[in-house]
Amino acid sequence: MKPIAWVWAAGIVAASIGGAVFVTEWKPFTHEPRGAAVTPIEHRDPSFDIGMARLNAGDAVGAIDPLRAAVRLSTGAAEQDARWYLAVALERAGRPTDAVSVYDDLCRGAGARAKAACAAATGLRVR
């Protein structure tokens, strides 16, 4: 196999790959790629994905620690999502008192899940 050779000069890129020559003009991005956030508003910690994978696999107990970490390490709506699923994991793990506490925290907030969290906490208290 022949080596790849390339040259970049004055915004023109020429590459030779296996004897074929490719020439193109290099331009920096002048705008954000489609679908990219212009300004990051929140951060979702990777531990959220681990917790969700465990929760979806039926391992509610194993989901609790990663979701607690996601609550601590995430911000904005991602933090609220992590709190919601932490409460779900606690409930499924047979810890309704702990789940009610997390639902109550969400209920007191102004996030998108506040109303549903209030209903979930009330529902657990009635049981």
pLDDT in tens, 70-93: 999 888 888 999 999 999 999 999
> In this model, does residue 33 exceed pLDDT 50?
no
pLDDT of residue 110: 84
For the chain, list the domains and their CATH numbers: 1-28 (no CATH), 47-126 (1.25.40)
pLDDT of residue 111: 83
Kindly state the helix (H) or strand (E) to which residue 5 belongs, with its residue range.
strand 5-9
Closest CA to 65 of 100, 105, 98: 98
Read off the pLDDT of each residue in 90-112 and give the average, rounded to a whole number. Answer: 94
Read off the pLDDT of each residue in 110-118 and give the average, rounded to a whole number. Answer: 89
- Confidence band for 38, pLDDT divided at 50, 70 and 90: very low
> In this model, does residue 24 exceed pLDDT 80?
no
